[in-house]
Amino acid sequence: MGLEAAFGEGYITSKVEFFINWARKYSLFQYPFITACCGMEYMSTMCAHYDIARFGAEFTRFTPRQADLLLVVGTINHKVAPVLRKVYEQMTEPKWVVSFGACASTGGFYDNYAVLQGIDKIIPVDIYIPGCPPRPEMVLDAFLKIQDQVQKYRVLEQK
């Protein structure tokens, strides 16, 4: 009698996937890509007052090869866009992206030829945090939403 006959098809793999995702959601390795004034709000979120350690994201990684969460904080201009794309491509799979603030999300009040009007033009974005600058509470809410996405992550079967 095989495992599929005893437990049903996909039982063991689905339980393993659940526990792997549970471990991932409490060990978010973030890579901050900070270019502008939203960096101050990011730093205040990392302070002890907001306790970002409860999300397992207290240690920032300063190499994309060790990170699975990319925080794009601030204005991205067209000169920096290829660098951001390369950082995204070097990250480990699975990976998630948070667009932090109005400038990263939509270009903010910089409506000119030099500023990228939203990072979703070059990389996929999972969570947008609005505001100029966004409050630390909004950043914590984004971490909760990322944790939900990580828990629901499913590996596509390749055949």
The domain segmentation of the chain, as residue ranges, is 30-151
Task: From residue 141, give the alpha-carbon distance in Å to each of 16, 47, 89, 129, 146.
Answer: 27, 16, 26, 9, 9
CB 12 within 8 A of CB 51: no
Q: What is the pTM of this model?
A: 0.81
Q: pLDDT tens digit string along 77-121? A: 999 999 999 999 999 888 999 999 888 888 888 888 889 898 999
Alpha-carbon distance 143 to 119, whole Å?
19
**Which pLDDT band holds residue 131 (cuts at 50, 70, 90)?**
confident
Q: pLDDT tens digit string along 18-59? A: 888 888 888 888 888 988 888 888 888 888 788 788 777 777
* CATH number of this structure's domain 30-151, picked from the four choices 3.20.20.30, 3.30.70.260, 3.40.50.12280, 3.40.50.2300: 3.40.50.12280
**Which pLDDT band holds residue 8 (cuts at 50, 70, 90)?**
low
pLDDT of 135 > 80? The answer is yes
Say which amino acid occupies 105: S
Alpha-carbon distance 58 to 60, whole Å?
6
